[in-house]
Structure 1
């Protein structure tokens, strides 16, 4: 049992890293690169030095695991179940197809490229749901390596950069409505900051609609994490490996991650209306900062050599799956008449 003092140095380091990353991100036009990405990159750059200083180890590990899960739980207080209904059936139809495309395509191309299934799944989660947040939520349930988390975030981030620039241009070219473009950006662009940047570049109305769609899309984290918990437990049982979410008998009761239960509880609380908009906004800011801290901690335990060992296949994997999602989202809207 470690004393609290054993964690202080590492926690302070991740706080400073998060503050630095957020400060750097403010100089990027349209907040194109979020603080989370900078924290991850800065952490990886510092890894060769920090890994040689034992005093930081316990705190960094605590932040990358415990603070990460706490941030995910707090995200629940920024969402309500009524938001799903407010968007309407059209967005749910489009999201169904994009999620199937992300995970179906991810599985197929992951097998074709002979990739680690955990890395392939993280890229699919980031592409299908909400970028780094989904990757962070799925990672602990499948016990993914930090190098896989870093690579998955990098793969989805590179595509997002392109989409922020190309989406508004394409939307104008196709003569899309504000509603259609908001639905397209909200279901096909990965990270929330990138969705906002792309949609508000098109129009304020498209931006407002895209945000609602994106928040609704985020709720799919819950069933997706549940499914991956079952997959990981079954794989571990087959290999004779005891995991954090596994018992002798693989069942929903035994493997459901506790932090997702708490996440659902927070969403329920937000849905009651007891949480004011101001408080929800403040909680969202705290949650996002904790996420930046956690991703910085992950970066501090990962070096570029580990990430580069995965090769270029994961990048191609992410690009192909993301492209498929963009095309499918557009095509489905074309058929249901929402462009």
Structure 2
């Protein structure tokens, strides 16, 4: 009986883990860390295929995320707190750049972390990565930083909210402004109450619209001028998907399926991204990206907490 070669074993484990990311009970965060664990224990059987899957799945996942947004509802809710949302995003991106520069981080990495913190976690990083021409290593570092802090927020925010006696409205706004990923926002708000959940979800989806202008600006800044060549087509697809979901009769019936496809596509993409995070790359990057993520998150959380206490 022939023994399986190391490369065959790698392929089997890779395929099994990739298929598991498509199951309902595996979250995007779990997929990312499954990829990281694979990278630490095995070698990628086909690096070229892994890279192509990562790039294309992320773009298409962002497009399908658009089917989960309603332009009318998003604009209505967004207009009520547009100044707060804009100020929060602007301050986060500014502080993110400042902290990243002070820590001597790679420019692309600190811009990805800042974008993920400012807008909507992994989805924002997925959208910004092609616009910034980020490589898989830069993406994996940013994703890992954001998802670790997401996990902390899911547990810590309801406890902090109770400590400060935040109302349902206050907590809903705070969670939407200070927690990175939409899933973590929904999870934390659901623990706090039904009203907080409704407010947090709507505000967070409105913030997700900022993926579009921020990604376009990032893409244009890469070459210093606006042109069709620098425009990320998948972002336009995101806009079209949102408009279809909002205005085409019967389109909303397919929204749950599109949302599922988007999350599973992102989940598989994150697995392929995690597979590039080997020991040498982790040692090369060190702990500085996490320092940036923590410092930026503490600043944003504190300022937004102060704001919601005094404004709502």
- Give me the TM-score of the superposition, normalised by structure 2: 0.89
Do the aligned residues in 2 keep the contact of 1:186 with 1:210 (CA within 8 Å)? yes
**Matching residue of 1:17:** 17
The equivalent position to 1:201 in structure 2, one of 170, 177, 191, is 191
**Structure 1 residues 132-162: Cα deviation after superposition (integer angstroms, max 9, x where no partner):** 1111110111111212111111212222222
**Matching residue of 1:39:** 31
Q: Aligned partners of 1:285, 1:65: CA distance in 2, in Å?
A: 19
SS at match of 1:282: helix
Structure 1: 5+ residue runs without aligned partners? 1-9, 27-33, 235-249
Do the aligned residues in 2 keep the contact of 1:125 with 1:131 (CA within 8 Å)? yes
Pair 134,16 (structure 1): closer, same or farther in 2 beyond 3 Å: farther
**Matching residue of 1:254:** 229
SS at match of 1:255: coil
Q: Aligned partners of 2:282, 2:111: CA distance in 1, in Å?
A: 16
Q: Aligned partners of 2:102, 2:17: CA distance in 1, in Å?
A: 38
Do the aligned residues in 1 keep the contact of 2:14 with 2:38 (CA within 8 Å)? no
Do the aligned residues in 2 keep the contact of 1:75 with 1:287 (CA within 8 Å)? yes
Matched, 1:49 2:49: no
Do the aligned residues in 2 keep the contact of 1:97 with 1:329 (CA within 8 Å)? no
**Matching residue of 1:269:** 244
SS at match of 2:196: helix
Pair 273,187 (structure 1): closer, same or farther in 2 beyond 3 Å: farther
Q: Aligned partners of 2:228, 2:73: CA distance in 1, in Å?
A: 28
Do the aligned residues in 1 keep the contact of 2:32 with 2:144 (CA within 8 Å)? no
Q: Aligned partners of 2:80, 2:295: CA distance in 1, in Å?
A: 25
Write the mapping of 1:178-193 to structure 2, written as runs, cut at 5 A: 178-193=168-183
Q: Aligned partners of 1:12, 1:292: CA distance in 2, in Å?
A: 19
Q: Aligned partners of 1:74, 1:282: CA distance in 2, in Å?
A: 9
- Following superposition, the deviation at residue 12 of structure 1 comes to 9.8
**Matching residue of 2:261:** 286
**Matching residue of 2:161:** 171
- Following superposition, the deviation at residue 167 of structure 1 comes to 1.3
SS at match of 2:54: helix
Do the aligned residues in 1 keep the contact of 2:172 with 2:197 (CA within 8 Å)? yes
Write the mapping of 1:43-192 to structure 2, written as runs, cut at 5 A: 43-47=35-39, 49-51=42-44, 53=45, 56-192=46-182
- Following superposition, the deviation at residue 94 of structure 1 comes to 1.9
- Following superposition, the deviation at residue 69 of structure 1 comes to 0.8
- Give me the TM-score of the superposition, normalised by structure 1: 0.82
Structure 2: 5+ residue runs without aligned partners? 1-9
- Following superposition, the deviation at residue 21 of structure 1 comes to 4.0
- Following superposition, the deviation at residue 13 of structure 1 comes to 7.8
